[in-house]
Structure 1
Amino acid sequence: MGRPKQFDPDAAVEQAMQVFWRKGYAASTPQDLVDALGIGKGSLYNAFGSKHALFELALRRYRDSQALALVELLEEPGPVKARLRRTLELLAEMDLADPDRRGCLAVNTAAELAGTDEVATGLVRRMFDRTEGAFRALIEEGQRSGEIAPGRDPAALGSMLLNTVVGLRLMARVAEGSGRLTRVIDATVDSL
């Protein structure tokens, strides 16, 4: 009788995140997951309980890495509008360079599961809230520095910027090049 296969749960969540990001929740089968993780179905369920529980962990991992990276970009030093432009351009470049055109796992999850999966919807909502809050803080900083008119509503502009990111991430999934994305980025930054 052989020893059970040992695996690193953290690495397994990373691999599962990649599967869910590439295929979506519904299209990711337990077999896809065990193949990616290199474990048996019994080990998958023993370690994580269910496909959905593993998905929740994967979505949290995405939040803690990818979504947090956007906030960190916005908080770098330099002029506000330049940071915003650099962040939006980096997102577009990253999405266009991805051969699978996966887009954003949070945006994909919202499109697939919002309204039908309360836990996933809540996780995505909190990610969007964090991103919108970072945009609002950026706008407020721009108002203090004089880059953005003080009469503009930071909450409304933060919401607009979140919507811009969601739209960019979706458009990049089908874009034939960077032209349309660049126009959106230019118009967004110029509107501030």
Structure 2
Amino acid sequence: MSRPKEFDPDRAVTEAMHVFWTQGYGATSPQQLADRLQIGKGSLYNAFGGKRQLFDLALSRYLDLRVEVLTYWLEATEPAKDLLREALMFFAESDLADPDRRGCLVVNSAVEFGRLDEAVATQVRNLFDQVESVFESLVARGQREGDIRSDVDAKTLASMLLNTVTGLHVLSRLEPGPDRMTRIVDATLALL
């Protein structure tokens, strides 16, 4: 007799993240989650408490992955402006390379939930704050090194970069290719 397949909650959260990322929270049913995770709906509720609790875990997992990416740019030693180009192009190119054109789960969640759900709004704001903080650090370094204009404060330029990344994520869901997104990145960097 074969041993029953063991349930891996960590893998289940990652799988759920992909379902929510592709479909959104509202369009995802508990049955779809159970099917993707290859468990019964009862097991889904027993393991996670419900769809919403699983979404919170999935969004947290996605946030952790994004923070890892941000840490790379913060710790890299290349010129700041080059790193900012690399970051903007990474977000644009990775979104375009996704065959499902899901964009960014955080941006998608911000649009879907808005301020109607304070827990999601807080998580989204926290990541936006972290992204902006990394951009601010890179801009400030670039200003000290003379690579980035210093007549505008670093926080203002970082907010512009955050807005650019958010817009790139939205555009990636519809754009047929990289042309417009590359123009946006080039124009943004020219303003620095």
Q: Please state which band the TM-score falls in when normalised by the shorter chain.
A: over 0.9
Q: Mark the runs of 5 or more structure 1 residues left unpaired by the alignment.
A: none
Q: Do the aligned partners of 2:12 and 2:37 also contact (CA within 8 Å) in 1?
A: yes
Q: Which residue of 1 aligns with 2:155?
A: 155
Partner residue in 1 for 2:136 = 136
Map residues 106-185 of structure 1 onto 2, 5 A cutoff: 106-185=106-185
SS in 1 for 2:173: helix
2:13 alignment counterpart = 13
Aligned to 1:87: 87
**2:111 maps to amino acid:** A
Partner of 1:66: 66
Q: Distance in 2 between matches of 1:4 and 1:113?
A: 38
In structure 1, C-alpha distance between the alignment counterparts of 2:69 and 2:152, rounded to whole Å: 26
- Residue 5 of structure 1, CA deviation: 5.5
Q: Matches of 1:191 and 1:72 in 2, distance apart? A: 24
Cα shift readout 1:87-124 (whole Å, capped 9, x = no counterpart): 11121111111110000000000000011111111111
* Percent identity over paired residues: 53
| 1:131-178 C-alpha deviation (Å, 9 max, x unpaired) | 011111111111111112233211111110000000001001100111
Report SS of the residue matched to 1:152. Answer: coil
Unaligned ranges ≥5, structure 2: none
Q: Given residue 120 of structure 2, which amino acid in structure 1 is its aligned partner?
A: A
Rounded to whole Å, the distance in 2 between the matches of 1:17 and 1:23 is 10
Q: Cα distance, 1:3 vs. partner?
A: 8.3
SS in 2 for 1:174: coil
Give yes or no for contact 2:13–2:54 (8 Å, CA) kept in 1. Answer: yes
Report the Cα distance in structure 2 between the residues aligned to 1:115 and 1:51, rounded to whole angstroms. Answer: 19
TM-score (norm 2): 0.95
Q: Is the 8 A contact 1:132 1:159 kept in 2?
A: yes
Q: Which amino acid aligns with 1:39?
A: I
Query: For structure 1, which segment, 83-92 or 126-135, has the greater mean C-alpha deviation from structure 2 after superposition?
Result: 83-92
* AA at the equivalent of 1:8: D
1:65-104 superposed Cα distances (whole Å, 9 cap, x missing partner)? 1343134235322111111111111211111111100000
What is the RMSD computed on CA atoms of the aligned residues?
1.5
The yes-or-no answer on 1:98 pairing with 2:98 is yes
Q: 1:168 to 1:18 in 2, by over 3 A?
A: same
Name the count of aligned residue pairs: 191
